[in-house]
C-alpha cells in the first residue's frame, strides 16, 4: 500500500473481546465526486457522510460484487446514493431540487436502503427508516434489528474530507470467555471523538488517542479510490434493451444519441452507424 494514500480503510479489534472496528478517511475519492457535480454545501456534506459509511461497509464484501447505500426521501432532496465494490472503489450521486437554495434543502424522514449484489449469487437488500438524514443512527438501527449486531457509527464531513468510525459487537463463540465490560467501556471511549479529530488525524493517531489503554490489534490498511463503472459497452447494452425503433426515432430527431453518466458526467455519443451495429441481426450480410 502507498504511504501517500489519503483514502484508506483501517480495520482493528480488541484482544480478549468480541469487538471489531473500522476507521476510514476519504479525500481524493470524495473530491473526485465533488469535482464532477456542483453540489450545494448541505448536499456535499451528506454525500461525504454517505460515502464514508459505504467505505466502512465495503470490508464486508468478501467476493466480487457491489454494495450500495441509498437514502430515498420525499421532499426536495429525493436521493443520495453511494456505491463500492470489493476493491474499495467508490462513486456517489445526489438528486435534489436544484432550484432550491442551500438553506431550503431538507432531509425529510425516509428510507435507507442497503443493497449487496454479488457478481455470482443472490442479491440482498435491507431497508431501515432514516430520520432527518441521520445516516449513523439509521445504520445502528439496521445492524441491531436485522443483523443482531450491536453497532456504533460516527460520521464526519467538512465539504473537503469525509471520515467515519465504526464499532461492532460480534457474536461470542460458545464457550469463549471475553471481557464482559468491554463493549460499554470501548463505546464510551469512542464517543469522545470530535469531528475535527476524526477528519484531521490519521487512523493510527485516532486509535491511540481513543484506545491507548486497551489491547488494540490493528490490521493492514486498504486503499480506497474513486472509480465509475460506466463504459461505452455498458451504455450500448442498455440502449439495446430499448429496442431498434426507439433508438431510430431518437436518431431521426437529434441526429445522434448522447448519454451522460449521472455519476461521473462522462458523455457517450452514438451515431446512426453505431446504433446499427447494436442490432447485427438486422444486417445479416
For residue 69, how many other CB atoms are within 10 A of its CB? Answer: 23
Question: How far lies 188's CA from each of 5, 10, 182, 212, in Å?
Answer: 30, 20, 10, 14
**pLDDT tens digits, 110-124:** 999 999 999 888 999
Q: What is the mean pLDDT of residues 50-55?
A: 97
Indicate if the pLDDT at residue 174 is higher than 70.
no
The C-alpha cell that represents 268 in the structure block = 457517450
Q: What is the mean pLDDT of residues 220-245?
A: 83
Contact 16, 178 (CB under 8 A): yes
pLDDT computed for residue 96 by the predictor = 96
Indicate if the pLDDT at residue 3 is higher than 60.
no
Range(s) of the chain covered by CATH 3.55.30.10: 8-172+184-226
pLDDT computed for residue 243 by the predictor = 83
Between residues 177 and 69, which one has the greater pLDDT? 69
Domain 232-282: which CATH class?
A: alpha beta
Task: List the CATH code of the domain at 8-172+184-226.
Answer: 3.55.30.10
Contact 151, 144 (CB under 8 A): yes
Indicate if the pLDDT at residue 127 is higher than 90.
yes
CB-based burial label for 119 (10 Å; 0-12, 13-18, 19+): exposed
pLDDT computed for residue 177 by the predictor = 61
Q: What is the mean pLDDT of residues 57-78?
A: 91
pLDDT computed for residue 99 by the predictor = 94
pLDDT computed for residue 189 by the predictor = 97
pLDDT computed for residue 278 by the predictor = 82
Give percent of the chain above pLDDT 70: 96
Between residues 36 and 266, which one has the greater pLDDT? 36
Between residues 274 and 132, which one has the greater pLDDT? 132
**pLDDT tens digits, 145-155:** 888 889 999 99
Q: Which of 129, 96, 90, 101 is nearest to 227 (CA)?
A: 90
Q: What is the mean pLDDT of residues 6-12?
A: 94
Long-range contacts, stretch 211-218, CB < 8 angstroms, 24+ apart: 211/14, 211/186, 214/14, 214/182, 214/185, 214/186, 214/189, 215/14, 215/15, 215/16, 216/12, 216/13, 216/14, 216/15, 217/12, 217/13, 217/14, 217/15, 218/10, 218/11, 218/12
Note the pTM of the prediction, 2 decimals.
Answer: 0.85
Range(s) of the chain covered by CATH 3.90.1280.10: 232-282
Q: What is the mean pLDDT of residues 56-66?
A: 87
Q: In terms of DSSP bridges, do strands 150-157 and 89-96 run parallel, antiparallel, or are they unpaired? A: unpaired
Amino acid at each position: 500500500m502507498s504511504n501517500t494514500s489519503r483514502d484508506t480503510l483501517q480495520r482493528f479489534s480488541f484482544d480478549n473481546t468480541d469487538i471489531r472496528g473500522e476507521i476510514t478517511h476519504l479525500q481524493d475519492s470524495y473530491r473526485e465526486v465533488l469535482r464532477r457535480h456542483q453540489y450545494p454545501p448541505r448536499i456535499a456534506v451528506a454525500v461525504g457522510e454517505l460515502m464514508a459509511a459505504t467505505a466502512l461497509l465495503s470490508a464486508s464484501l468478501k467476493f466480487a460484487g457491489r454494495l450500495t447505500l441509498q437514502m430515498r426521501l420525499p421532499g426536495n432532496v429525493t436521493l443520495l446514493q453511494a456505491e463500492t465494490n470489493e476493491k474499495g472503489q467508490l462513486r456517489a450521486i445526489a438528486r435534489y431540487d436544484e432550484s432550491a437554495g442551500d438553506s431550503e434543502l431538507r432531509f425529510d424522514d425516509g428510507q435507507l436502503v442497503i443493497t449487496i449484489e454479488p457478481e455470482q449469487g443472490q442479491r440482498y437488500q435491507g431497508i431501515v427508516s432514516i430520520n432527518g438524514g441521520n445516516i449513523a443512527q439509521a445504520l445502528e438501527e439496521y445492524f441491531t434489528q436485522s443483523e443482531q449486531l450491536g453497532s456504533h457509527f460516527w460520521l464526519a464531513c467538512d465539504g473537503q474530507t469525509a471520515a467515519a468510525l465504526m464499532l461492532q459487537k460480534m457474536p461470542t463463540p460458545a464457550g469463549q470467555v471475553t471481557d464482559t465490560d468491554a463493549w460499554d467501556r470501548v463505546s464510551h471511549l469512542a464517543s469522545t471523538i470530535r469531528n475535527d479529530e476524526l477528519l484531521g488525524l490519521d487512523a493510527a493517531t485516532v486509535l491511540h488517542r481513543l484506545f491507548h489503554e486497551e489491547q488494540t490489534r490493528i490490521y493492514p490498511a486498504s486503499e480506497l479510490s474513486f472509480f465509475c463503472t460506466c463504459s461505452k459497452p455498458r451504455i450500448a447494452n442498455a440502449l439495446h434493451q430499448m429496442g431498434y425503433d426507439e433508438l431510430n426515432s431518437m436518431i431521426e430527431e437529434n441526429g445522434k444519441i448522447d448519454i451522460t453518466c449521472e455519476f461521473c458526467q462522462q458523455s457517450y455519443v452514438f451515431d446512426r452507424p453505431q446504433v446499427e451495429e447494436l442490432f447485427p441481426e438486422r444486417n445479416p450480410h
